[in-house]
Copies of this chain bind each other. A is one copy, B any other.
């Protein structure tokens, strides 16, 4: 009973990008809808990507002096209300426990949408003196935000994330920490997810409820829409004042701590999929793969089967033991698919759908010539490679794939990022998607107008230290307001977004 080629049907991107995304997630068995509205199940293939993300990012976070901890899932309703903007932002999205242990609760408990409040209740107890600062903590956990329209990984009622929370003695230090974490997210997204991101600041209307400043990394998906991929907030003393998180400074006076918080979530997996995958299914940067190489024996003639299996085993061992392979920054995952109930064609399609970076075919004719067929998932290139050169080729391709996926995505973003100066031009071109960079006067009204007219939003304001400051004389594309020294415009990135 040999299974024949039955690639899961994947809608082409050009036909329906949204359907395509769902098909890729389903075919690679990354996640599934659960019977609980808006909540997803992350299946083993998807969860192993999250594990790779956690492993790498966790080490980067710890290298900045942050330690992991765990805080309660439940937040007393009164805590959420202590910071006025915060409760306004989150209350409509809260899931609330009203009875427990067969009794109505005296105080309702909110399932954490984020943990600034409950963590500040502990910080207020733990922080006493300047000696206790900086206090820097991170937690990996689940959070719940009731959403009307959900999509696997991208927007779900419950999601997994890490949330970092830090306390500092001065405003300069908290600002520095918020920027440092933005930089770490940027490097992580590019070096591991191979997903280029634009770091910037959120406008007042888009910032985190309770923050002084919100920084963000914004990625461009293949449909040219923006995805907010991570945020880092300078909370100033807003939560510290609400919760009395104070320290005795060296000058013997009590002061509120300056705080940050920052997080990335399972949404990153959705962003990574929409950055790299194609009409054949998932494309995975090697750093996120758990299986990097699949060897498929092709055995049309029964008498050669054992010989071919033997060559596959030897080749697998040679790849695993290769010096260059062992120097890769991950443990190589390699499988040899000897399942005789499935056809080679079925296995090829399966490997493609699942995003396995390299497929090696070992058949009788190639074997005579002492070579194998090596297929690269991202470019679909196939090449004959002499047996002895396979291990080094595998190492070279895996390293190349990681950087080339990033370069390709960066090129795509650059080709679809445009400077515009006239609002009419913007309104016309936004219909084709992409990022649009323009001076902006900073008024709430003009920001709202863009949203109403075009459904696009300001994704971020570009950071001064990374982009040329605006010269006097630039004009806001919406209001036409001229940039002056006293009231400078800022460079804003406009796009439609997930």
Binding site for B on A (CB under 8 A): 32, 34-36, 39-44, 46-48, 50-51, 67-76, 79, 91-102, 109, 111, 118, 121-122, 125-126, 131, 137, 141-142, 144, 146-148, 158, 160, 341
Bound-state CA distance A47–B41 (Å) is 26
For residue A43, which residues in chain B have a CB less than 8 angstroms away from its CB? 69
Q: Which residues of B contact A40 (CB under 8 A)?
A: 72
Question: 16 A–B contact pairs at CB < 8 A?
Answer: A34-B71, A35-B79, A36-B74, A39-B72, A39-B73, A42-B70, A43-B69, A47-B68, A47-B69, A73-B111, A74-B158, A91-B102, A94-B100, A101-B148, A131-B341, A141-B142
Q: Which residues of B contact A101 (CB under 8 A)?
A: 92-95, 146-148
7 A-B pairs besides A41-B69, A95-B101, A95-B109 with CB distance below 8 A are A32-B126, A44-B137, A47-B68, A47-B69, A48-B68, A73-B144, A141-B142
Contacts known (A67-B48, A68-B47, A121-B35); A96 close to B98, Cβ less than 8 A: yes
Taken together as a complex, chains A and B put the C-alpha atoms of A102 and B91 apart, in Å, by 8
Q: Are A39 and B70 in contact (CB under 8 A)?
A: no
Copies assembled: 2
Most buried by B among A32, A50, A70, A98: A70
Grouping DSSP codes into helix (H, G, I), strand (E, B) and loop, the A interface class, with mixed when no group exceeds half, is mixed
Contacts of A39 in B (CB 8 A): 72-74
CA distance A41 to B126 in the complex (A): 12
Task: Tell me if B69 and A44 are in contact (CB < 8 A).
Answer: yes
Shortest Cβ distance from A266 into B: residue: B70
A122 nearest CB neighbor, chain B only: B41
Query: Which residues of B lie under 8 Å from residue A96 when comparing CB positions?
Result: 97-100
Query: A488 to chain B: closest CB distance in Å?
Result: 40
Residues of B within 8 A of A111 (CB): 73, 97, 111
Set of chain B residues within 8 Å of A99, measured between Cβ atoms:
95-96, 98
A100-B146, A102-B92 known; A109+B70 contact, CB < 8 A: no
- Measured between beta carbons, the chain B residues less than 8 angstroms from A92 are 101-102
Q: Which of A92, A95, A118 has the most CB of B within 10 A?
A: A95
Q: Is the CB of A41 within 8 A of B71?
A: yes
Tell me, rounded to whole Å, the shortest Cβ–Cβ distance linking A184 to chain B: 19
State the CA gap A93–B99 with chains docked (Å). Answer: 10
**What's the Cα separation between A458 and B285 when bound, in Å?**
53
Query: Which residues from B are CB-within-8-Å of A125?
Result: 32
